[in-house]
Structure formats: structure tokens, C-alpha cells
Structure 1
Amino acid sequence: MAKRNDVEVTLQSLFKFEPEMKKWLLPQVKVKPFFGFYFHGFAKIADLIPDEIFYRLLVKDHYDIEIGFCMEMPEKIIAASNNRNSRKYAWIHGYDEGLKLLSTYQKMDKVVTVSKCNEERFRKETNGMIPVCCCHNLIDDHRVCTMGQELIPVMRGPELTFVVVGRLEPGKGVLRLIECCGRLKQEGEQFALWVIGDGEERKKLEKRADELGLGANVRFLGAQSNPYA
């Protein structure tokens, strides 16, 4: 991908930002964490702050383009922008079932999805009234394959092994996966599940795995700097 030296990007994370992630960013990307910490349920507390006030607290400079990435809180904050000269985008990483944020999308210049399927679905469900486009996730295949060759400090056994990588949050469906593993256990199957990642649901997932007697089957390996390996 060609590098643009005439573009400055400010990445403002609402909660935590791991310092080691900076090494993956280009020099023109400035990182400005807002809260800088997170605990279970904090997002619900932060959501009580009016979006207009949240925007004024978060955004101190004037930008040409403002993007609310992921879903819900970031989009609502950008929709409350008082910068009349900026273009505003809602970047949906997934899909907003039932279009709960429809009034938010109506304030955006464009909605961006990560799949053509979701682009067409959004266009159909909004009757084409809101501009939408698709931008696939950018993946460096060569780098992924190279990093995948690194050795890992975890040994796998002879049993069938599943692995899930991602943020441990409700939208990822890991709790449902744990429930499925409970059924496999009841049916006498020999298997292992590696859970790579961290997030607000981790303690809940660990507790449910214990309740289902999956202590010997499920391993929570936490966030990994190289999940590809």
C-alpha cells in the first residue's frame, strides 16, 4: 500500500490503548487515549454522558474528516460534532441489527461497512436514503503468514483443538461457543479450546467454563501480540 505523507491521523481511543501497539502505526498517526483505563461495565457508565458533552471533552482540534469506528458510542459522539466543515463517517465493524442507530446514521455523510453483503443490506433497509459503501478489512497476507511461523510457548495435545481469536465481548459469540463445548463434554468428546484475546466478558466466560466442568478443556490465553502464531 502506498504511504501518504500529506495526511495526519489522530487516533482517539475511548478507553485503553496498549502502548506496544504504537509500533504498528505510521509516524503521522497520533494516539490520544481519552479515559486510558477500562473496567467491566465502564462503557455503560460512560454512555450516560450526553453525546454533545462527550464530543467537546474528547475532540479538541478541528478535523477535515471525523470517523466513528465500530458501533454505538463512537458513532453517536461523531454525530454530535459541532464541526460544520468536517465530513463525518460511521464505520460499522459488524452490523447494527434492527438499525438501532438509524437517527445517528442520518447525521453522517456516509456509512462504511466491511462487507458487500452488509453494504447491500444497509442500503435495502434504509431504502437507499443514506449513502453507504464497503471497505474490506485491510490484511497484509504476507506478514500474517510470516508471523504465523513463529514458535509459541503453548503445546497442543493429540485431541481435536479449536481456537478462537478476538475481543471477548458479547458480539463475538464466545459465550455461545463455551456452551457448545459444554455439550461436547456431556457427549464424551475429547477436545480442547484455546481462547486468545481479552475483554469485558473474560471473567464471565471463565466462570461459565468452570460451571460446565471445562477446566481441563478450555484455556484462556489472554491477549497476544502475535495471535497469528
Structure 2
Amino acid sequence: MNILMIASGYEIGGVTYAMRNLCNELIARGHIVNMLNLPGISELPEGFDKRITLINLIGFAKYWNLSMAAVKKTVGIKKLWLLLLGIIKKATNKGPLWRRIVFNGLYIDKHYDISVAFRQSPVSYWLAKYKCDSDLSVGFWHTDADFENVSKLEDCLHYPDKICCVSDAITQQMINKYPQLRDKFSAVYNLFDASSIRALSDDTVSEYDSNMFNIVTVGRLSPSKKITRIPQICYVLKKKGLRFKWYIIGDGEERADIEKAITEYNVSDCMILLGAKSNPYPYIKNADLFVLTSVWESYGMVVTEALILGIPVVAGNYPALHEILYDGVN
């Protein structure tokens, strides 16, 4: 089959890893995979199969995600032109009009069996349905149906022919919330390359203290991950006289708040922010315990990755967790 993948970004995290694993598996099975290069990167991130062909945007389409920061970096006539384009975007971006304007000249000169919007977004879903010559358009869904920002995505749910939710729990949530679209939704789990995870985990970790009980959490520093809970937990554990260090792998908008809480609870000696890591697996493998503090996850890929590496897991009780972790069993 000829498959076109569409993604608006390749940030470090579970969705990008899941897309990489799916693309690589499709190619391993003999399919042809092309990638519509929305972010305008020069090459795919490390780990993506080199046989994936990037399709670059041309003309107006390159400015679909135009920001004022990009406008400020230009000079002369181009700056004036981009400023005008930015004003048009601001005036039309709340609905599909901006997409129709900026992608008007986009023509993908190839027929595909399937076009796949791998990140849920109005742009990706719309492109998969209306700008690709494909027999079937598919959108993946990687978020909780009750997530606070889901309302911004509701208008684009009718674009794909099928929507693949990454767990049974999310599939049922979506059916309950949008019963009129129930025939669109089905569960399609993310793939894991266990052998690759184990191989990548062999790198050394210099930050851990062999004299301490080492705990690790991997995730974005964002509200849903509830990493803001950890400083207080560390304070309680420290008062009990436990010897431990808790390492956080990830970055995000709550970093400043977490750093402030670490100072307020006086736990800088036992809670360490290591930032985002392109390869978090050595940190998971060499930990004594993996902890996921999220209040919700569409699935929780990192929990399965910790189990693959044989590390005990403690996680919050969100619905999809029961498809991975069985209390007292694994």
C-alpha cells in the first residue's frame, strides 16, 4: 500500500515515538510511506526509517503556521508581506477559511491508499481528507475525550473517514461523548519496538546515586501530568527519613512552577529536573521505581516501556491504565 502520513510536529514524546514505530513497521511489512512535511524540517528525527520520503510544502503552504516571531526575524518587503499574511491568518484562523487560503495551491501529485493524520488537529485532519487523493482518510486520537481543550477539536471530527483511538477506554469515551459519530471510532493501539527500547536502554547514566533509592518520572511538565505534586510528596518522604532521589525527565510550561515548589518544600537535594532527553530509556532501566503522576493519559506509552525494561511501576488511576497495569500482577 501507498500511505501518506501527516503530522504537525515531531516534538520529543510518546506521540512522535508512536508515529515512528508505526511508520517503521509499515515499511518493514513492505508498504511505501511518505510524510507530508508540515514543520518544514530538513530530515526526520533519529530513529525514523530512512526510506520514508518527505514531501515538502511550497508557496503559501509553507506559511500555514506563521507566527509573529517569524515575521520579526525578516526585513524589508518580505517583512511587510508576511505581516499582511499574518493579519489575514489572525482574521480567518478560527475556522477552515485560513486552511483553504494557505493550502489553496497545495497539490499532492500521487494517489494514496490511506492518508493518516497522526496528531489530532484541525489542520492535519483537514489535509488528510480534502487535500490528499486517497481511498481512505484516517485520524489518530491521542487525548482524553474530557480534556479541557478537546472542545477546540470538535469541529474537525467529521473530517476523517475513520478515527483511531489509542486505547479502548478512549474509544468508549469518544463514543459516549459523540454517539452520532460512533461508527468512526475504533481502538488501534500504539506499537512498541521492544528490542529497540532494550538496546537504547544500554547507554550509561551518570546522574543516578547508587547509594540512594532512585525514582524516575518521564513526561512533559504540563498540567495533565501533575508533576507539580512531586515536590510535596518528596517533602513527606524526606520527613519520614527515607533516602531517595527523584529524577524528572521532561520539559514544559510548568517548569518554573515546579522549580518554585522544589525551593518552597526544600527538596532540591532529592528532586532533580534533568530536562527533556531524546533517549529516556537508560534512565528508566537504571531506576529502582518508575512513577507516573498523570491524572489522565490516552494510553500511557511510558508505562509499557517501563514494563518492557522490567522496572516496577506506580501510576495514577486513570481509565486506560487498566489496559496496561494490573494491580499486584505487573
Deviates more, 1:215-224 or 1:4-13: 4-13
Give the root-mean-square deviation of aligned CA atoms: 3.5
Shift of 1:177: 3.1
Shift of 1:66: 4.8
Q: 1:88 to 1:200 in 2, by over 3 A?
A: farther
**Contact (CA 8 Å) 1:51, 1:77: kept in 2 or not?**
no
Q: 1:88 to 1:168 in 2, by over 3 A?
A: farther
| Structure 1 residues 38-187: aligned runs within 5 Å | 49-52=93-96, 53=98, 56-57=101-102, 60-62=106-108, 64=112, 65-67=115-117, 69=119, 71=120, 75-81=121-127, 82-83=130-131, 85=133, 87-97=136-146, 100=151, 101-127=153-179, 129-130=181-182, 131-187=184-240
Q: 1:24 to 1:76 in 2, by over 3 A?
A: same
Partner of 1:30: 54
**In structure 2, the residue corresponding to 1:7 is in which secondary structure?**
strand
Q: 1:150 to 1:191 in 2, by over 3 A?
A: same
* Structure 2 counterpart of 1:12, from 38, 47, 70: 38
**Structure 2 Cα separation of the partners of residues 218 and 181 of structure 1:** 7
**Contact (CA 8 Å) 1:68, 1:77: kept in 2 or not?**
no
Q: Which has the higher contact order (CA 8 A, sep 6+)?
A: 2
Q: 1:143 to 1:208 in 2, by over 3 A?
A: same
Gaps of 5+ in 2: 1-24, 57-61, 70-88, 283-330
**Structure 2 Cα separation of the partners of residues 20 and 221 of structure 1:** 26
Deviates more, 1:106-115 or 1:219-228: 106-115
Shift of 1:187: 4.6
Scaled by the length of structure 2, what TM-score is found?
A: 0.54
Letter in 1 for 2:189: H
Deviates more, 1:120-129 or 1:139-148: 120-129
For residues 61-106 of structure 1, the C-alpha deviation after alignment (integer angstroms, 9 at most, x for no partner) is 448525150x5xxx22235555385554332213121663433323
Shift of 1:211: 2.1
Partner of 1:223: 276
**Structure 2 Cα separation of the partners of residues 147 and 117 of structure 1:** 30
For residues 190-224 of structure 1, the C-alpha deviation after alignment (integer angstroms, 9 at most, x for no partner) is 32210112223223322222222121111111122
Letter in 1 for 2:166: V
* Structure 2 counterpart of 1:206, from 259, 264, 282: 259
**Contact (CA 8 Å) 1:197, 1:223: kept in 2 or not?**
yes
**Structure 2 Cα separation of the partners of residues 192 and 115 of structure 1:** 32
**In structure 1, the residue corresponding to 2:274 is in which secondary structure?**
strand
Q: How many residues align?
A: 214
Shift of 1:133: 1.6
Q: Percent identity at matched positions?
A: 20
Scaled by the length of structure 1, what TM-score is found?
A: 0.73
Query: Which protein has the bigger helix share?
Result: 2
**Contact (CA 8 Å) 2:145, 2:173: kept in 1 or not?**
no
**Structure 2 Cα separation of the partners of residues 196 and 214 of structure 1:** 17
